[in-house]
Amino acid sequence: MRQIVLDTETTGLDPATHRIIEIGCVELVNYVPTGRRFHKYLNPERANDARAFEVHRLSEEFLRSQPLFRDIAQEFLDFLAEDQLVIHNAEFDMGFVNWELRRIEREPLSMSRVLDTITIARQKYPGAQASLDALCRRFEIDLSIRAERHGALIDASLLAQVYLELIGGRQPGLDFASVNGSARSTAILMPKASAPIVVRPPRRHLPGAQPTAEEAALHEKFLGKIKDPIWLRG
């Protein structure tokens, strides 16, 4: 299964009037990062909002020298193909991506193909903070790269690690899956190939291994103390 972890940076918060200035995508195949990425800076043909600039620190002078969205749109869509998209707060990023597609008269992307990690996080940790920063701290993912500024590729790479933790994460006693021979710290872990598979024979019934009347009575008394036992649910 192929998935694309996607993030954007923008000139502001309103997709109808603001534009994408950076797109970052990370490819996962069977929950393992492959090393393939899509990353573009874009000329938004407009100024940054001051608050947006404080986040991404991409100057207008730098962005003016970058390609327009329409110039990279086909390459972007080819990279996404028809695969599932993994996005944090997907409504925001998809709103911007689809506005950019509409501006060049291309079909918008369907939200049905999107997995929103903020929804997963809120379901798994109700009441807890679900920002990317908060989730990185929860899973002890290094945030130092994000200290000076946010970036679409930086955040997509962090989100890939968060997503893999949300759906299972690293487990003790397992080795990292590897791609092209190199271990990935963000990979879903695979069992050690050297670990033997133990097949246990079925347990035999031992004659006489029955509880006494006193033991059975104590057992029934203990069961009676359990409220709403699952074995009595419909």
State yes or no: pLDDT of 227 exceeds 70.
no
Residue that wins the pLDDT comparison between 104 and 201: 104
- Residue 102 corresponds to which tokens in the numbers above? 């509409």
Q: Which pLDDT tens digit goes with each residue over 164-187? A: 999 997 543 333 333 333 333 333
Mean pLDDT of 66-89: 98
pTM of the model: 0.72
Distances (CA, A) of 116 to 6, 7, 100, 107, 152: 11, 12, 20, 21, 16
For residues 85 and 178, the model is more confident at: 85
- Res 18 pLDDT > 70: yes
The pLDDT of residue 158 is above 70: yes
Q: Of all residues in the chain, what percent carry a pLDDT higher than 90?
A: 67
% of the chain at pLDDT higher than 70? 72
Q: What is the C-alpha R_g of the chain?
A: 25
* Chain mean pLDDT for the chain: 82
Torsion, Cα 223 228 229 234, to 10 degrees, reads: 140
- List of residues 6+ apart from 149 with CB closer than 8 A: 55, 56, 57
More confident residue, 125 or 195: 125
Give the pLDDT mean for 54-73: 95
Among residues 56, 88, 150, 219, the one annotated as catalytic is 150
To the query of whether residue 18 is one of the catalytic residues in this protein, the response is: no
Report the sign of the C-alpha dihedral through residues 114, 99, 41, 150, in that order.
negative
3-state percent helix, strand, coil for the chain, nearest multiple of 5: 40, 20, 45
Least confident residue range of 91-105, 132-146, 190-204? 190-204
Q: pLDDT tier at 102 (50, 70, 90 boundaries)?
A: very high
Cα 204–chain centre separation: 46
CA distances from 38 to 15, 49, 56, 66, 80 (A): 21, 25, 18, 15, 9
Categorize the per-residue pLDDT at 126 as very low, low, confident or very high, splitting at 50, 70 and 90: very high
Name all domains of the chain by residue range, CATH numbers in brackets.
2-190 (3.30.420.10)
